[in-house]
Amino acid sequence: MEYVKLKSGITFKTKLKDFEKILFKTAIEFYMDKLSIPKNVNLEVQSIKSKKYFGDLKLNKDTLKNNKFKVSFESDVMYPIALKVLAHELIHIKQVSEKELSVDGKNVIWKNKHFKTIPEFKKANNSKTSHDKMPFEIEANKNMDILYNQFLKSKELDSLKESNQTIKFIFDNL
């Protein structure tokens, strides 16, 4: 595994091509800025190979206490999908940092109300239908496209396209 330090508190842990590292780094920093994710967040990003899901955010008591997050995403998919998945998982980090989404060891809490026990959550999380009906997933699904489209129109992506011909080719041919 290769570790690439992004900005304060962010580690990118995965094997990627150089232009992919630059692309995902820029997108993560853009999303964090747009979502006003606090600068004291420690984020480890890694790629996964999963037939079950495209992305995941590990959430536990340590995450909440120490602002340490582990985001996994499927990097072997088309770039628009990978970038949307990163946006989706960063929306969950925003939900946690704003104390909308949390766990207390036994329960998942949403907006200060008991949502599900951890076993109920895990069961629902394994069902695509139940998973997509969870309120925090509805919010993340609704907003990931908005965030991704903002990134597509951003000066940050324009700057990348000017400096990297591979990224320019990819986004000019979507």
CA-to-CA separations, 164 to 19, 92, 95, in angstroms, rounded: 7, 30, 33
Ordered DSSP codes for 95-133? HHHTTSEEE-SSEEEETTEEEEEHHHHHHHHTSHHHHHT
Strands 55-58 and 113-117: unpaired
| pTM listed for this prediction | 0.87
Q: What pLDDT sits at residue 1?
A: 36
101 touches 110 (CB < 8 A):
yes
Q: Are 82 and 20 in contact (CB under 8 A)?
A: no
**Domain parsing of the chain, residue ranges:** 3-163
Interval 82-126: pLDDT, tens: 899 999 999 999 998 898 998 887 888 899 998 888 888 878 777
**pLDDT at 51 exceeding the cut of 70:** no
Interatomic CA distance for residues 169 and 6, integer angstroms: 24
Residue 27's pLDDT band, with cuts at 50, 70 and 90, is: very high
pLDDT at 171 over 70: yes
Higher pLDDT: 130 or 53? It is 130
